Amino acid sequence: MPWNKKDYPVSMKNLPAEVRNKAIEIANALLEERSMSEGIVIATAISRAKDWAANRGKRTELDKPDKRTTDVKKHGEDRYVIPYHDEWAIKIEGQRKPEMTFRKKAAAVKQARTEAREANASLTIQKRTGQVQQRISYNPRKRSRKV
């Protein structure tokens, strides 16, 4: 079910309007692209919208001075190894075009691991089908996990 500015999940009600609108946009896109449950789509959309706002210096919560924000990313730009035409590409979070392309997936993964480690970022590796194969976080406080 697509959401809009007047009809959106209850869990988005306490977000500032700009962040809520971005979360709605992201949630609708996730619903179109993937076969995820609605709950996961909503949580993912809220998290990504908060990251989007924090990276642009915008408020991520309504004015609540006592509330500490725990969902704001404090590490580098994430890297993605994705299928790209008949090759493999490294894409940086927030950029439209791939940073580099490689003939072999292993070479792309090796380069992306190095970059993600240096940036204290996360690395998401996709299969040829576009499904997530593995997610690795190089943030010192997080562990890697396979999907």
For residue 8, what pLDDT band results from cuts at 50, 70 and 90? Answer: confident
Tens of pLDDT, residue by residue over 68-90, are 555 555 556 889 999 999 999 99
Q: Is residue 134 part of a domain?
A: yes
Does an H or E element contain 82, and which? strand 79-84
Say how many domains are in the chain. 2
Q: Which domain holds residue 92?
A: 79-146
pLDDT score at 96: 86
Residues 11 and 56 in one domain: yes
For residue 9, what pLDDT band results from cuts at 50, 70 and 90? Answer: confident
pLDDT score at 130: 84
Residues 130 and 86 in one domain: yes
- Last residue of some domain: 39, 67, 95? 67
Angle at 53 between CA 9 and CA 80, to 5 degrees: 95
Does an H or E element contain 123, and which? strand 122-126
Residue listed under structure tokens 């915008």: 58
Q: Is residue 74 part of a domain?
A: no
CA gap 46, 31 in Å, rounded: 14
Q: Would you list the DSSP string of 5-44?
A: SSS--GGGTTS-HHHHHHHHHHHHHHHHH----HHHHHHH
Residues 56 and 86 in one domain: no
Q: Is residue 126 part of a domain?
A: yes
Q: Which three-class secondary structure state does DSSP give residue 81?
A: strand
Residues 62 and 88 in one domain: no
CA gap 71, 62 in Å, rounded: 14
Q: Is residue 102 part of a domain?
A: yes
- Last residue of some domain: 21, 38, 67? 67
Q: What are the CA-CA distances from residue 104 to residues 6, 32, 47, 85 (Å)?
A: 47, 30, 32, 12
